Amino acid sequence: MKIMSGNSNLPLARAIAGYLELPLTDASVRRFADEEVFVEIHENVRGEDVFVVQPTSFPANDNLMELLICIDALRRASAKRITAVVPYFGYARQDRKPGPRTPISAKLVANLITEAGADRVLSVDLHAGQIQGFFDIPTDNLFAAPVMAADIQARLGGQDLTVVSPDVGGVVRARALAKRLDNAPLAIVDKRRDRPGQSEVMNIIGDVRGRTCILIDDIIDSGGTLCNAAQALLDDGAKSVTAYITHGVLSGGAVARVTNSALKELVITDSILATDAARDSNRIRILTIAPLLGEAIRRIADESSVSSLFD
Ligand code: R5P
């Protein structure tokens, strides 16, 4: 088995390799003067089971291109099996046609990864579970919920917890976390979004008075959804609001928005390499999913069960 990495999240790839007690594959992923991606693998991978770690986060197109070219290099170097480890799958939010004459870019990206030569895909908290079906190759979708639940139990255990979904679409994810927290009650923020990039909180479904609220979502991008939801929960009498979000996209002024928000804390994972601003914010904490990914990779290589990781 070999672990190779693009440039998108080297610390995560190193941590995964550390968990598996393997060195990272010796390769360089660099740019020509005109920014073309060039990949060179400096060791033999013929007949190897290779896992390429490359979240397709900002800059999404560059990181996607690196992933595709790494896969192509491995295929031409006769790797036996190539798994694209894409902890954050960019373009996932474009998983359906929101209007006439619009693309389904998540499907296009799935096609590109498959055509490049990937034999399998491993991702975490895909924006929509059905994106697995966009691939005609085996695709494992891991959940960060066990990592989050352990952190919540350690830090907030014993408090009156209510798990909150910031929108109707996230209820299944919230219910799964609530189940891991001794069946904590659920609440839902009924959100209306007038324009892309803007969000407006309408009302809270469920009683949050005096409760320690845990907001859970897959992505924080501009931070609008989360910060508005936190304020609405406090306005409804919540004692405090802490957010657990798998993928800290945190575009533009999101870190400042979170830092100045009503949120007690934002907890994200290292699926995306955090910016300096995110790391320096005293309101943001990062949990690692390297052991989760490392264990899933070990099980894929051993051909043992991955789903039993979540029993
Ligand atoms: C939407 O369906 C997602 O689950 C997130 O709620 C959304 O992407 C967050 O975006 P923002 O932080 O820009 O409000």
Regarding the beta carbon of 221 and ligand 1, being less than 6 Å apart is answered yes
Residue ranges of the binding site for Mg(2+): 127, 167
Is residue 55 predicted with pLDDT exceeding 90? yes
Picking from 5-14, 93-102, 191-200, 262-271, which range would have the lowest pLDDT averaged per residue? 191-200
Answer yes or no: 191 catalytic. Answer: yes
**Residues 192 and 94 occupy one common structural domain:** no
State the Cα–Cα distance between residues 71 and 67, nearest whole angstrom. Answer: 6
Same domain, 29 and 118: yes
Indicate which residue's Cα is closest to atom 5 of ligand 1. 219
Domain extent for 163: 145-288
Asked if residue 248 has its Cβ within 6 Å of ligand 1, the reply is: no
Is residue 130 pLDDT above 80, yes or no?
A: yes
Q: 220 in ligand 1 pocket by Cβ < 6 Å?
A: yes
Choosing from 225, 255, 257, 284 the residue with most ligand 1 atoms within 8 A of its CB, the one to mutate for a pocket test is 225
222 Cβ below 6 A of ligand 1: yes
If asked whether residues 295 and 264 sit together in one domain, one would say no
Distance from the CA of 156 to the center of ligand 1, in angstroms?
25
Domain CATH for 242: 3.40.50.2020
DSSP code per residue over 114-128: HHHT-SEEEEES-SS
pLDDT (0 to 100) of residue 191: 73
Shared domain check, 108 and 166: no
Q: What is the pLDDT of residue 198?
A: 63
Q: pLDDT averaged over the chain?
A: 96
Q: What is the 138 CA–ligand 1 centroid distance (Å)?
A: 27
- The model's pLDDT over 14-29, given as tens digits with 9 standing for 90+, comes to 999 999 999 999 999 9
Ligand 1 proximity of 90 Cβ (cutoff 6 Å): no
Average of per-residue pLDDT across 215-235: 95
> Which residue has the CA at smallest separation from atom 3 of ligand 1?
219
Looking at the structure of the chain, the number of domains it has is 2
pLDDT attached to residue 43? 98
Q: Are 131 and 261 members of one domain? A: no
What spacing in Å lies between the alpha carbon of 241 and ligand 1's midpoint?
17
C-alpha span between 185 and 178 (Å, rounded): 7
Each residue's pLDDT tens digit, 65-122: 999 999 999 999 999 999 999 999 999 999 999 999 999 999 999 999 999 999 999 9
Q: Are residues 49 and 151 in the same domain?
A: no
Identify the residue with better confidence: 67 or 169. Answer: 67
pLDDT at 38 over 90: yes
Token pair listed for 283: 């309101």
Whether residues 187 and 266 share a domain: the answer is yes
Å from CA of 282 to ligand 1 middle: 22
Q: Are 82 and 36 within one domain? A: yes
161 and 96 belong to one structural domain: no
Q: Does 125 sit in the ligand 1 pocket, CB within 6 Å?
A: no
By CB atoms closer than 10 A (0-12, 13-18, 19+), residue 183 is exposed
Q: Return the beta strands (E) in the chain as ranges.
A: 2-5, 27-31, 37-41, 49-53, 81-86, 120-124, 139-142, 161-165, 186-192, 200-205, 212-220, 240-248, 265-269, 284-287
- Pick the catalytic residue from 2, 191, 239, 264: 191
Cα–ligand 1 centroid distance for 23 (angstroms)? 36
CB distance 268 to ligand 1 below 6 Å? no
Binding site, by residue number, is 34-36, 93-94, 127, 167, 193, 217, 221-225
Q: Which atom of ligand 1 is nearest to the CA of 169?
A: 2
Looking at the fold, whether 91 and 12 belong to one and the same domain comes out as yes
Q: Are 58 and 22 within one domain?
A: yes
Q: 211 — phi, psi (to 5°)?
A: -95, 150
